[in-house]
Structure 1
Amino acid sequence: MEAAIHQPDSLVEYGFRRVVITITAVLCALLEIVDTTIVNVALNDMKGSLGATLTDVAWVITAYAIANVIVIPMTSWLSQQFGRRNYFAASIIIFTVASFLCGNATNIWELVFFRFIQGMGGGALLVTAQTIITESYPPAKRSMAQAIYGMGVIVGPTLGPPLGGYIIDHFSWPYIFYINVPLGVIATLLTLSFVRSPKYDGGGKKSAKEVDWWGMLFLIMFIGSLQYVLEHGQQDDWFANSTIVTLSIVSFFGFFLFIWRELVCDNPIVNLRVLKDKNLQIGTIMSFILGFGLFGSTFIIPLYTQSILGWPATDAGMLLIPSSIMTGLMMPFIGKMIQSGVPQKYMVALGLSIFFGFCFIMYGQLTNDTGSEHMFWPLILRGVGLGLLFVPVMTLSLSTLKGKAIGEGASFTGMMRQLGGSFGIALITTFIARDSQHHRVDLVSHLNDTSFEVQQRITQLQANFIGKGFSPNEALAKAYQLLDFSVTKQATVLSYMDVFLYLGVMFLLCVPFVLMIKQGKTKVDPSSIH
């Protein structure tokens, strides 16, 4: 059943109301995205206080991610069912209550369950916040609205680790969840007071019999299983593990059953027909690659600084802050450039090229003792590249869509960005583990016991340990151990270098495809997103 299109400017706000709505929506998007990364630095504390294994505590991240990617594609449909304002407010309440319950969890599986509920509430906040911000601005300023929303989405993932590190250092892990409670209460009250819903002629609601329950089930089978496989693949040794194999098969069949169901159903929960639009097809792929680069680089840089350089979690998180600030500062300028008629595809192509430049510089900079001063300017370059990518990709994806198809397209791009991040982290983790082994084998093959340089190095190390009071035999054993550790560390650095190189090449290869995109003749008018 098609919901009728309302007057384009019916939800446009001005002055104080628009400022309040914008702050509310950005706050909600930030809350959701920060919570995807804030727990990363708290896993050790959770493990200790809840008596859990590292595998068990990893579910705190997995449960949230699975709930996120399940609910994002349904957001457009759920908004029609319950009304946008009511659905948004209910999502904030679910997120806030679940955050409080997470902080009060007494064992690991309670925490995992409440994190899943938190993810169900949080996943809805992203796409709905984007829609609410966009609708509150007149058509001429909608690219600026996308830029304001983009600040939250880009800055969010990098705020999580340093904020989480600060809270862990000064308080305890439950407070990373309690911090959401007052902010959630304020956001709920502001939503109920200021946000308005579009009016549907003929109603958007479906009866229980009309609801696409099978589509919902197949979506959960497909996305839920896939997310688990991506999150746990490397630590469970991929297809050597029966659970990974089983869920891969479930995801495979869920994917085909979901597509079949949505194409034959009269009231599909996800409208796949909107993907006939060429720009949206390219936009969903670009959103996937953007998620891959954004979340992948946000994951690998703290990992490198902590595991190789020995930085504390807070310092590792703080390193990314200038990059995020740079992206945030660029957003208003990007919005104005789009308003001025600068073609988005050229901005995206430039952003991809700049991100390649960042990756290539990092490839050349990484060593066993690289300092923060070596990474500052490359990370500023990363911020510029992401700034040129996010808003143009979003507006270009939706530029040839009309009516409620815009909301459905936004759901697809949001889901693909999240999935891109999951794929990126899974592939990077696996690649580092496997590639470092190959590099280690290569490095060891060049360590010849008869080589003068090797013998000299071992003799020096042995002499150092003898000087510290060890016997000659103990000192020799420790010298070999230290040499082995150095080789392993160098092999890991080489694998990080490879990750940056391949990530950069992937972005560079996208440039010619972006330049082939057809630019929409009219400006995006998402005023009737449902």
Structure 2
Amino acid sequence: MKTPAYFKPWLAEWNLGGIIILFIILLSGVVQFAAFGLSQTYVISYLGAQPEDITFAIQLTYIAIIVILPVQFRFLRRFEIRDYLTINLFIGILLSIICMYTTNIMLFFIIRFFQGVIICISSGSILVLIPGFLKPEYRQAVGPSVFYGTVLSASILIGIVAANVTLNADFKTIYNYIIIFQVIVLILIRLTLNAKSNIKPYPLYQIDWTGVVFFIAGAIAFAYTVIYGSKYYWFTDIRIKLSTLITIAAAIAYLYREAIVKRPHLDISVFKYKKFWIGLILLAIYYGSKESINIIFGYTASILQWSPLQVTMLGLSNIAGLLIFMVISAIILIHYKNTFMYFLIAGFSMLLLYQLWMYFIFTPDLAFDDLIVPLFFQGAASGLLFVPIMVFTLSSIPVTAGVTGLAVAAFTRFTSLLNAGAGFYNLQLYYNQLYKESFLNHLTNIDEQTTERLNSFRQLFLSKGFSTEQAVTAAYASLAKALGTQGQLLTNRATFMFVAIIIAFVLVLVILAFIYQTYMKWKDVQLRN
């Protein structure tokens, strides 16, 4: 199936033009996710929600993307893509309008789920179209690189726009820009895509909708358990008990059904391949460890009080490293197939160095120049790891199960991000409490440092015209704030060290596996000689 069959004659032979059109269509899905994800503070205030609610809304969108992805490829083989994308964009515009005016958090959850469906349709269409512009030997390495790199880089670029909008206008103005862009993409689709693609329609039958329902129920319950568990003190609360029960029951029902139906939602036979499991484990470790970068973004925004634009610009350096080294790794993989272990050693070594780097430089007065290089470095490490691990994972299963491989890899990202988020949150709680108690043990009237700091604060407020009583109260408040900042600083450093220890353990295993692999190859050569 050739991609140019989808495009009108004036565009069919113009590869660059086709790639630009595909990129714009992809953006129509990404903007609905990125603009919201990078403006969470404003969404919280606009909806009167809790931070956990916003995280849950983001995960609902991701659940929809994962669950619809396998079904999406069936739809693409049944419907003409121009009409399919037209209806998709039209519904996306309606959802954006509703999202712009709703202040009900439950309705917002429902909208975010269906926006995930719309995002999946746009993105899934690109996954089908883009291979037509690539040589067969390039598709496995370049396809994931282009798609993943576009999503990440576009998220940052859109985040810059969203940050500027929220700083200079009402939050709802973001949706005005999104809707205008969606309308432009809708017109572009009608102008560039053929009404008839001459592709033989594939009938829709025996889609495992029951399995889809089980998957959605289990994934939503799992996300709820992980996100709200700490907030409600885990299994002391009936809501967490119930969501855990639903997660387990839905998972068992889903796996049983996928094993007995003729055309399952996902082909669970892929799990019999050992290399596929290794690839998923590496993906989970990669996704989880790289999420420590959110500590930096959170610290600069909440403690150092950087503007959203400054934080987003910092993210650009990370994306630059990611894209550059993703391209490099894709090119090397195309020309040198047996370099997987080298990428793992180099990538995890760089991630380890980054974690240690952040552990040693983290201070209360971090400047932009202190972080731009290590964040670029972290992006470079991610670029070296992602493409090789994805290629290794997808190539370890039959081509016929490729859609399942993509969906399971996406679900691995979903679970890794949830676990990393919950893990970092609980680590922060633990270390914050640990350092807080340690500080309190030293806060006595006979402690010279405490007395000196309180006196300096008191004198400062007295010099600004405060009364004696007000100066004392303000001095204690300032000391508490300073201790809070110091506690958060030490907590972040401890978290970086914790992640560094995990990466170091993985790196040792990878090096040992590489040594064993090299020894077995050498032994095989000796036996042949």
Query: TM-score, normalization: structure 2?
Result: 0.85
Per the alignment, do residues 175 and 34 of structure 1 end up closer, same or farther by CA in structure 2, a change over 3 Å counting? same
Give 1:428 shift: 1.8
**Structure 1 residues 88 and 280 mapped into 2: Cα distance closer, same or farther (>3 Å)?**
farther
Q: CA deviation at 1:91?
A: 4.4
Residue 319 of structure 1 corresponds to: 314
Q: Hey, what does 2:441 align to over in structure 1?
A: 445
Once the two structures are superposed, what CA deviation does each residue of 1:150-174 show, in whole Å capped at 9, x if it has no partner? Answer: 3213324434543321111123222
Determine if contact 2:322/2:382 at 8 Å carries over to the other structure: yes
Return closer, same or farther for 1:483/1:309 CA change in 2, 3 Å cut-off: same
Match of 1:117 among 81, 106, 114: 114
Alignment counterpart, residue 134 of structure 1, candidates 118, 131, 134: 131
Which runs of structure 2 are paired with 1:205-354 in the superposition (5 Å)?
Answer: 205-206=204-205, 210-294=206-290, 296-341=291-336, 343-354=339-350
Distance in 2 between residues matched to 1:131 and 1:189, nearest whole Å = 21
Match of 1:431 among 427, 452, 458: 427
Q: Are 1:365 and 2:361 matched, yes or no?
A: yes
RMSD over aligned Cα atoms: 3.3
Q: Between 367-376 and 340-349, report the one with greater CA deviation.
A: 340-349
Aligned partner letter, 2:246: V
| Partner AA of 2:207 in structure 1 | V
Instruction: Give 1:79 shift.
Output: 1.5
The match for 2:63 among 43, 49, 69 is 69
Q: Secondary structure at the match of 1:320?
A: helix
- For residue 189 of structure 1, report the CA deviation from its aligned partner: 5.5
In 2, Cα distance between equivalents of 1:74 and 1:387 = 27
Query: What displacement does 1:32 show?
Result: 4.0
- Range with greater deviation from structure 2 (492-501 or 430-439): 430-439
CA distance in 2, matches of 1:88, 1:418: 26
The 8 Å contact of residues 359 and 496 in structure 2, kept in 1 or not, is answered as: yes
- Given the superposition, is the C-alpha separation of residues 106 and 9 from structure 1 closer, same or farther in structure 2, using an over 3 Å criterion? closer
Say whether residues 1:149 and 2:144 are aligned partners.
Answer: no
Distance 1:242 1:496, change over 3 A: same
- Matching residue of 2:524: none
Q: Which amino acid letter does the alignment assign opposite residue 56 of structure 2? A: T
**C-alpha contact (below 8 Å) 2:63/2:113 kept by paired residues:** no
Alpha-carbon spacing, 1:378–1:106, altered in 2? closer, same or farther (3 Å): closer
Does residue 166 (structure 1) correspond to residue 164 (structure 2)? The answer is: yes
Counterparts of 2:410 and 2:279 in 1: how far apart (Å)? 11
Unaligned runs of 5+ in 2: 519-529
Q: C-alpha distance in 2, partners of 1:338/1:200?
A: 34
5+ residue gaps, structure 1, are: 1-5, 520-530
- Matched residue, 1:412: 408
2:38–2:159 Cα contact (<8 Å) kept:
yes
SS in 1 for 2:170: coil
Letter in 1 for 2:72: L
Q: Relative to structure 1, is the Cα distance of residues 270 and 455 closer, same or farther in structure 2, using a 3 angstrom cutoff?
A: same
Contact kept in structure 1, 2:37 and 2:58, CA below 8 Å: no
Larger RCO (alpha carbons 8 Å, 6+ apart) = 1
- The CA deviation string for residues 156-199 of structure 1, in whole angstroms up to 9 with x for no partner, is 44345433211111232223233333443454555574489896
Partners of 2:3 and 2:131 within 8 A in 1: no
Q: Is 1:458–2:457 an aligned residue pair? A: no
Does residue 100 (structure 1) correspond to residue 97 (structure 2)? The answer is yes
Alignment correspondent of 1:402 = 398
Q: C-alpha offsets along residues 466-521 of structure 1, whole Å, 9 cap, x if unaligned?
A: 222334344333322222221121111111112222233333333355564999xx
Q: Give the Å deviation of 1:37.
A: 4.4
Identify which range, 245-254 or 23-32, moves more after superposition: 23-32
Distance 2:348 2:295 in 1: 19
Tell me the alpha carbon deviations over residues 222-245 of structure 1, each in whole angstroms, 9 at most, x when there is no partner: 111112223333444433432222
Instruction: Tell me if structure 2 keeps the 8 A contact 1:344–1:392.
Output: yes
Identity of aligned residues (%): 20
Q: Return the TM-score normalized by structure 1.
A: 0.84
Deviation of the 1:221 alpha carbon: 1.7
Q: Deviations over 1:370-391 (max 9, x none)?
A: 1111111111101111111221
Please tell me whether residue 78 in structure 1 is matched to residue 72 in structure 2: yes
